[in-house]
Structure 1
Amino acid sequence: MSASTTAKCKICDLKVSRGRVKTGSFNTSNLIKPLKSKHVNEHKEFETTKRSQEGPQQQTLVSSLRGKEQWDEKSEAARQMSEKITEMTVLCNLPLSFVESVGFRLFMAHTVPKYKVPSRKYITGTTIPALKNKVTEHVLGKLGEAGAISFSTDLWSSQVSPLSLLSLTAHWVDLETFTPKSIILHANEFKGSHTGEAIAGAIESMLHNWSIPKSKVHAILRDNASNMKKAMMDLGVSSLGCFSHMIQLVVHDGLLSQKNVSDELASGRKIIGHFKHSPLATSRLETVQAGLGRLIKRLIQDVPTRWNSTFYMTASLLEQKSALSLYAADHQLPATLTASDWTLLEKINTILAPFEEITKQISFATSTISEVIPSVVVLKRLLAKQTTEDSGIKTMKATLLAAMGTRFQTVEAEPLYSVATILDPRYKDRYFTSAENRKLARSALTQEVEKNEESSLQITTTDAAEPASKTLRMTAEPNTSSCFKGLYEEFLQEHAAEQGGPSSTVTQVQIETYLAERTIHHVESPFEYWGKNKERFPSLATTAAKFLSAPSTSVDSERLFSTASNILDEKRNRLSGDHVETLIFLKKNLPMYLSLNPKDLNPQED
């Protein structure tokens, strides 16, 4: 029986054709048309039900093409994306050509198809300069808030490009939070001869670029080269030599002073060189280490320009003593170490350990020149102590002590050092080796504080005499493995607080009250102390911010040039000086501009 060719409307009984005669040709369009024209409400209900059952409708060709349209490069979305790519390129030391790499473009096409990745030329000529302008404005704002500013500077020459850079880093203490701040201002290309006159002119130009008058310059930390010393004299600013460099010279003198010591170190270098140049020997040594149940470690070769690398070399040899002895039983080494040789290595390592501890301490970002005098004093006392273990290294030890005395002969008489030391609550005036030096330091402190008292003296004698129990409590335990265990305490006991003459001014009251109080432990932070006591000693706090702004070393410049060597490498040895400086400036200052947590920059340290 064939199906009916008509359908009957259930609402109005209207008969409607179902299409053609054959069943396969029936359609619903004929049924929908009268529903739409005669029964509007029911038709709307029908359409709603139909859409819900069918789900999302397929895009038309026009709508599909519109969805794939890319952002205009001047749009806010495209601009922000380009800026973030620039930040990533700078922070990760990526080559500028990275934005044109196939892998990166495929990744961006998948993740943000509407964004057109810019060319290297656009990043170099547009987004990097725009980002540098933003960071520069931010730096200018920070410098404008700073009081007295200290600087560190150094020269660096690339090994992969005929390019030399002169750096300038600003250091100051924020008076509101009493925290040390540091900003890289320049890593300028330095052309021509590295004379004192040329260096002075370059630094003066740098200061002018940032509108920093010389009157605002507290001190400049430099290396001990004669051209740098002359540059600071020509510039007319106070300067100090890098403490770390001076330690390097002292240890260098000591290591070369005793033939058996230098011979022993030479033997160690030969042994390490044997493994460094022979993969087979290295593999055999690793097998021996594994057989002893030790961690697989490579021996450390020293570098002539870094004395502490000699300490690390002797330490690595001593650590692998058993493995090397077993290796020597079956394989030949270029040098043989006897029992007495190993004993001498241990003594060399022991005598170098205090210098390594001091070097680490002064290399922290929060280290200041206030640590120089105490470090020199405890090192000299340690070297002056004679023990039964000195056999074999007496000449070396005596030379180290003599070199310390020669190179740091006038350190206590230098006001930049002495005033900073007194204003460090860990040391105060307890580490001066003579009453005369202590008196001179107090006098220099009084003169410096009096320069600030007109604007800062707002306290009364009663407030200044507040009990010491309200000062900063000790927050850190002493380092029990320190080479100087007990020496700091010895000096504090020997040089207890001395009362000065009768105090007649508010300034003198502040100084005498401050010096009469107990010192805080030497592992605590002087910045935290002054942050909590700046209301009690306002003039002293302002002076402390000035003198504690100076670092004890030019380590920041060395770290800066480590960044420079990562940017200007063999694959990017044709970068211009301007581009190198811009990338260094952004690499070092962008984290501050973006308010990044230091842990975000070094997540492996967590």
Structure 2
Amino acid sequence: MLVNDIRLISMVEDEGFKQMVTTFHPGYTLPSRTHFTKLMEGKYEATFGKLKDALKATKNKIALTTDAWTSVATEAYLGITCHFISDDWELNSFCLTTMPLEERHTGTNIAAWIEQAVERFEIPLSKVVAVVHDNGSNVVLAANILQEKHGWVSVRCTGHTLQLVINRALKHPQISKALGAARCLVEHFKSSELASSKLKTKQKQMGTPEHKLVQDVSTRWNSTYYMVTRLLEQRWPLTATLSDPAVTQRGKHYLDLKADQWTLLDELAKALQAFECATVYLSGENYVTVSALPPLVRGLLKSTHTVYDTAPVQAFQAAASEETTAHWSREVTITDDDPSKQIIAATLDPRFRKRKFLTPEERFSVQNKVQALALQSSRNEEATAASVDNDDTAERTPNRSVSALDSLLGCDSTDSDSEANNYQDARNQAIIKEVLMYFGEQPLSKTESPLSWWKLNEAKYPTLASQAKSFLCIPATSTPSEHLFSAAGNIASKKRASLTPEHVNMLTFLHCNLKHL
């Protein structure tokens, strides 16, 4: 219970809890707080070992997400999660650490802390494929350092990027004014019990859904979308309530939005709908997301071409298009025949294998890249297997001295070389055929699971299946690491501010991982 529900360990010393235990089990002696603390520490060590073994056992690539956070006790933490696709094509996600930070949060330090977390679990550096992070300059620098040192791909959180895109696109003065008026309207009903009660009455009278108003928050742009859509839904009950002199003072009638503001917000909600849909989908944790980014970005750009009547919303559309292009041009275009990891992931997702979001020339280029990756992967596997065979042979066969004549004449290995070349040519042709067959198939329905499809077709496309596991494991957002700090409602709330940073890490680790290990 302490772990699953994030309860205070000191709860066992509370009088109310003691009385409850005594009621259910008279005569039972409740163990001390120290006892439960040691139990938690022991459980952490055991679960840590299980996770380390699971990460060692997988042969597949691993992606990381990271995010920084400060507790109510002003203690800074770095959260790191890992993600990989199992041999059974299940998407696995685990918390690695909620690491207390005592030094400056420089890019160099953050890179070193991420490396330390990976090394603690004895994950080979070559097994990590990517790090997903927000757009903070220090974290971006850390990701770039790791990319240069280890080849880990730097992937910026799409949720954070969408936040930047929408915030900048909403800066039109008339939009800002209308949204400000909307917030004042919501705040009035949130703070007035009389107005809120009357609104419920009007909702019933008018047959409007009895929904509460939504107050937006600055850190979640889509909360603004939800605020606006709820106001539009409740427009007439709101207006009727504000028009009632028994409820609203004459000086408060200004709270109702003007007709042109209602029109503006109606069009703005329609323009924001595509971005809200993309935000929700890409923030998912239980399904493949990174492969959807390129087609979704193309879809978002297409949505900005919709023409609206109000000039402010037209300006929003233009700004949203410009910001989307500026932030994601690298992820959705191909430069120098070098597609991004997101495009490769989309290509290996059977839902998007036709690559309709690319030009014909780009489709050809990315197909060649996937083929090259498959061929290189095959060569790497052959080299690894040969190295193991050579080591085994060296152990079994004693060293023999080579005669002077043998040394002068050399070894005629033409036949063996020819056999090896023939085998490699046949292997390459098989992979090329595999790639052509894959791209020749019809795309999977957008509602179906790409991992389920790969599970059924792995034997048919073995080389591409291996590549798919390496790319489709990457999350599109750093949401998993953000959730480390909000799991079960604030791990280190004011009541838990007395927890040591080490125990915060243990509690978070167990809460996130225990049910999966």
- Listed one character per residue, the Cα deviations across residues 399-420 of structure 1 (whole Å, up to 9, x for unaligned) are 1111111111121334311211
Q: 1:122 aligns with which of 32, 35, 54?
A: 35
Match of 2:302? 381
SS in 1 for 2:487: helix
C-alpha distance in structure 1 between counterparts of 2:92 and 2:243, whole Å: 55
Once the two structures are TM-superposed, the CA of residue 295 in structure 1 deviates from its matched residue by 4.5
Whole-Å separation in 1 of the counterparts to 2:340 and 2:132 = 15
1:193 CA drift (Å): 2.0
Note the 1:422-433 alignment, pairs <5 A.
Answer: 422-433=347-358
1:369 equivalenced with 2:304 (yes/no): no
Q: Which amino acid aligns with 2:365?
A: L
Mapping for residues 76-91 of structure 1, pairs under 5 Å: 88-91=1-4
**C-alpha separation in 1, matches of 2:161 and 2:483:** 18
Q: 1:576 to 1:180 in 2, by over 3 A?
A: same
Contact between 1:274 and 1:334, CA under 8 Å: does it hold in 2? no
Change (3 A) 1:263 1:188: same
Residues 533/390 of structure 1: CA separation in 2 closer, same or farther (3 Å cut): farther
Structure 2 residues without counterparts, runs of 5 or longer = 383-426
Cα deviation 1:242-267 (Å, max 9, x = unaligned): 011111111112111x2222211111
Contact 1:415–1:444 under 8 Å retained in 2: no
Contact kept in structure 2, 1:149 and 1:216, CA below 8 Å? yes
Aligned with residue 587 of structure 1, among 508, 511, 516: 511
Q: Secondary structure at the match of 1:90?
A: coil
Partners of 2:6 and 2:238 lie apart in 1 by: 39
Structure 2 counterpart of 1:396, which letter? F
Which residue pairs with 2:50 in the alignment? 138
- Counterparts in 2 of 1:200-279, with a 5 A limit? 200-235=111-146, 236=149, 237-256=152-171, 258-279=172-193
TM (norm. structure 2) is 0.84
Q: For residues 212 and 410 of structure 1, do their structure 2 counterparts lie closer, same or farther at Cα, with a shift above 3 Å needed?
A: same
Could you tell me how far apart the structure 2 residues matched to 1:504 and 1:192 are?
51
Match of 2:215 among 276, 280, 301: 301
Query: In the superposition, relative to structure 1, how do residues 252 and 447 fare at CA in structure 2: closer, same or farther (>3 Å)?
Result: same
Shift of 1:428: 1.3
Q: After TM superposition, list the pairs within 5 Å mapping 1:456-535 onto structure 2.
A: 505-535=429-459
Letter in 2 for 1:376: V
| Contact persistence 1:173–1:180 (CA under 8 A) | yes
Deviation at 1:432, TM superposition (A): 3.7
Q: Deviations over 1:159-200 (max 9, x none)?
A: x2111110110100012x111100001011112321101101
Report the CA distance between 1:393 and its aligned residue. Answer: 1.5
1:385 Cα offset (Å):
3.7
Please name the residue that 1:545 is paired with: 469
Contact kept? 1:169, 1:556, Cα under 8 Å: yes
Q: Tell me the CA shift for residue 334 of structure 1.
A: 4.5
Sequence identity of aligned pairs in percent? 31
What amino acid does structure 2 have at the position aligned with 1:204? Answer: E
Number of residue pairs aligned between Structure 1 and Structure 2: 456
C-alpha contact (below 8 Å) 2:135/2:160 kept by paired residues: yes
| Aligned partner of 1:352 among 272, 276, 280 | 272
- 1:446 deviates by 1.9
Give the distance between the partners of 1:429 and 1:247, measured in 2 at CA: 26
Which one of the candidate residues 342, 351, 364 is aligned to 1:417?
342
Counterpart residue number, 1:342: 262
SS of structure 2 residue aligned to 1:99: helix
- Contact 1:219/1:239, CA 8 A, preserved across alignment: yes
Query: Is the counterpart of residue 393 in structure 1 residue 306 in structure 2?
Result: no
Note the alpha carbon deviations across 1:426-478, whole angstroms, 9 max, x for none: 00142343234323322321232123325879xxxxxxxxxxxxxxxxxxxxx
Is 1:288–1:326's contact at 8 Å kept on the other side of the alignment? yes
* Structure 1: distance between partners of 2:436 and 2:208: 57
Structure 1 residue runs of 5 or longer lacking an equivalent are: 1-87, 458-502, 594-606
- Alpha carbons of structure 1 residues 504 and 201: separation in structure 2 relative to 1, 3 Å: closer
Query: What do the CA deviations read for 1:43-98 (whole angstroms, capped 9, x no partner)?
Result: xxxxxxxxxxxxxxxxxxxxxxxxxxxxxxxxxxxxxxxxxxxxx11111111111
User: Quick one: distance in 2 between partners of 1:208 and 1:504?
Assistant: 36
Aligned mates of 1:261, 1:253 — CA distance in 2:
12
Partner Cα separation in structure 1 for residue 24 and residue 489 of structure 2: 33
SS in 2 for 1:167: strand
Q: Residue 196 of structure 1: which of 107, 110, 127 is its match?
A: 107
TM-score (norm 1): 0.72
Higher RCO (CA 8 Å, separation ≥ 6 residues): 2
How far did residue 423 of structure 1 move?
0.1
Following the alignment from structure 1 to structure 2, what is the Cα–Cα distance between the partners of residues 507 and 390? 55
- Alignment partners' CA distance in 1, 2:104 and 2:440: 52
**Looking at CA atoms only, which structure, 1 or 2, has the larger radius of gyration?**
1
Where in structure 2 are the equivalents of 1:101-120 lying within 5 Å? 101-112=14-25, 115-120=28-33
Q: CA deviation at 1:110?
A: 4.7
Separation in 2, partners of 1:312, 1:535: 45
Change in CA separation of 1:193 and 1:384 when aligned onto 2, cut-off 3 Å: same
Q: Are positions 1:162 and 2:74 aligned together?
A: yes
> What is the alpha-carbon distance in structure 2 between the residues aligned to residue 113 and residue 352 of structure 1?
60
Query: What CA RMSD, in Å, does the superposition of the two structures yield over aligned residues?
Result: 2.1
Q: Distance in 1 between matches of 2:144 and 2:311?
A: 45
